[in-house]
Structure 1
């Protein structure tokens, strides 16, 4: 009978991380939960791994990601003494082996397929993943149109821009569950062939920029739908496409989206780091983009507890927005609703719940009527904060507004808010307002399931 060799490589990494075996197990469980796996490992399991037992295939990726986050650097299978799993493509850090276009096509195809989308959505978000600097990706995508007869011009670029704007409108009105598969299908079936077609250099650059914008939007939708590993994959491809197009604007918008993702996952230092990188990548930004980036810097500063910097960035945001015109871009736009949402986020992170409630109410007053998805998220947050303050009837009124939008939306983020509504209102059913809200929620759930 073969004897197992102890895994001293893994033991050294756990020691470097200054973790107990229980703490390492807890970190692995957390990563697994983010990826949609329910795990309850403890020190007994880790002891078995150290004695030579191999972790189950998906858990290998979870363990490496936990160590990478703790140590602030990528940890490889070889370094951890863990055999790679050849079937766990969803756990491989995005973009390590294939070129930008091929990786984007593979991701988009999987995102189009309902049978594969759930697995893809559970791919891991990597907090330790290195983000390429603009100068490292500028002009790096090689054109491969030699010998091809297909040609594109300005009309095809306009088609991609128009479709991106239309998908953004569908996202706002109906939710990401409908919009993201459309975006993925358009990326694979139309944009990818355009990127491989023959074109004058100026048209090729414009097409790369348009593709970067659509890929950024697709990543934002995945992030918003809580498919964080998938969102990160799209974001990294958007950075590479934007770099190839020498498009600073989309590059820094994408970094800002990655900062928001890190903030949503409570990686405060990473959120501030990415927000600062986004601002630094756009030194000549116009006032609206400047506000867009500074607002995210304010949120990042608040998350790390830097009150002074947070309010300085908010003042900078307000000043820049006051200088902007009235135009609102479909993708990556920034307006008064977005500004006051940032104010609310900053105040809440700094412990001022009443102030965050007032700011969120102001944000909703500025929000366009058809922007259901953004308003549903804002109302979900607002109602929870009102309940935290003991304002039950106000929370019920806000949740009723949320339900007005929720009935028309297909969005996992909105579903999450709906489940929180039903759970958090349960202890208050003796109150008539709470009881009416609960009964309405039951009816909404019935209609959406029908």
Structure 2
């Protein structure tokens, strides 16, 4: 039987190879590429690599840069990366969990670079449950990574990695105070990842520094993912969460990996994939193992949210009880730095939502006082919880109280740009709409419709 030869899909790259005399000498091009790229470590590209590049496989951004340099010298003229036919290629909408650390870094560079170049950050992609579950399974059961030490263009120090943690804290604070809706902030973050973090990933570091670098990069990427989720850009959010999860695996940080998986579950809940969200949350709990109490409280709260959304009252209440017991055991600042945000107010807001989803309004409203006991650094969460309280009162038929909370919501929502806050405002408007003949309801509806258009 004659072997099937795949057709060339990157004609631009094929034409450049031909013009440079590599049309029938792909192995020679690969050798030149390996020699030119030695500053990044030992590359082992061969004729087969060139074959797959011609047929649609996309190398990392830094590899494309060296390709352009090799071809420029051969052709005696500058060759732009865009001429290679890769730069304009779209990242696949449904990309599975990267098989290796190198694959994760290459994929991360492509999506970061694309974000810096897009006039609009919105992708056409949507949340893909199958790929989310595949990522959870691979994260949980794949073997740990080999040592990640490498020799590259520049040395990476512990102090430089620590600066990335500080940067992640800064963007996290911006997100909580102002929401993820600003495309400028997300573009700025992607640009920093491309210009500052990517060169560090290709630098020189020991295994210990390298794993710390992977963890810090996972935190930055995970934060960009959450901002994209809050802005309603769910394709980019899932892509970034997936690569962050893989980098957390490379860092051998199972707790932060579980946190990222819980964020993926949170996104699935928001988009109506409650059963898949429950599986993701369960995988996160299983993978976290004997975690600190604060981490367990956060994970069980996410699981409860998934069960509540799917209507499973008994399992939801059991998960809430586990979360509450874990929160009672937690001591301030004893867990990882990223879990310190999770407070009794965050738990109360989730519990209120669970009970509301289960149509248990009275039980839901028992959590009202704690749900709004938030610090000044959490305006978005305050807006989300206030909207939920107002909607729950409206569903219970207590329109006077619902309007009181609705007026507070109109004030809180103006401080943030968040697609999630907009959706909560719209939910309240939908519940109050049939009662607009009541003067105070009608007045509030006018204010909320203005708020929904600006939040």
TM range (shorter): 0.7 to 0.9
**Structure 2 residue corresponding to 1:340, chosen from 345, 348, 356:** 348
**Structure 2 residue corresponding to 1:313, chosen from 305, 319, 325:** 319
**Structure 1 residue corresponding to 2:190, chosen from 154, 160, 184:** 184
Distance 1:434 1:348 in 2: 21
TM-superposed CA distance for 1:265, in Å, is 1.9
Aligned residues: 358
TM-superposed CA distance for 1:405, in Å, is 1.7
TM-superposed CA distance for 1:373, in Å, is 1.0
For structure 2, which runs of at least 5 residues remain unmatched after alignment? 1-87
**2:390 is aligned with 1:386:** no
**2:170 is aligned with 1:163:** no
TM-superposed CA distance for 1:347, in Å, is 1.6
Distance 1:363 1:431 in 2: 30
**Structure 1 residue corresponding to 2:105, chosen from 89, 101, 107:** 101
CA distance 1:189–1:246, shift in 2 (3 Å) = same
**Structure 1 residue corresponding to 2:129, chosen from 119, 127, 130:** 127
**Structure 1 residue corresponding to 2:151, chosen from 146, 154, 159:** 146
Q: 2:441: which partner in 1?
A: 434
TM-superposed CA distance for 1:341, in Å, is 1.9
Distance 2:260 2:369 in 1: 27
User: Once structures 1 and 2 are overlaid, which stretch shifts more, 151-160 or 343-352?
Assistant: 343-352
**Structure 2 residue corresponding to 1:368, chosen from 349, 367, 375:** 375
Q: 1:291: which partner in 2?
A: 297
Residue by residue over 1:357-392, the C-alpha shift from the partner in whole angstroms, topping out at 9 and shown as x without a partner, is: 332x23433221231111112222222222222222
Q: 1:112: which partner in 2?
A: 116
Q: 1:5: which partner in 2?
A: none
Larger Rg: 2
Distance 2:276 2:172 in 1: 27
Q: 2:357: which partner in 1?
A: 349
Distance 1:220 1:291 in 2: 20
Distance 1:142 1:204 in 2: 6
CA distance 1:353–1:213, shift in 2 (3 Å) = same
Give the TM-score, by structure 1 length. 0.72
For structure 1, which runs of at least 5 residues remain unmatched after alignment? 1-85
Asked if structure 1 preserves the Cα contact closer than 8 Å seen for 2:97 and 2:246, the reply is no
Q: 1:256: which partner in 2?
A: 262
Distance 2:266 2:208 in 1: 32
TM-superposed CA distance for 1:189, in Å, is 2.1
User: Once structures 1 and 2 are overlaid, which stretch shifts more, 204-213 or 174-183?
Assistant: 174-183
**Secondary structure of residue in 2 paired with 1:115:** coil
**Secondary structure of residue in 2 paired with 1:124:** coil
Matches within 5 A, 1:51-66: none
Distance 1:377 1:368 in 2: 14
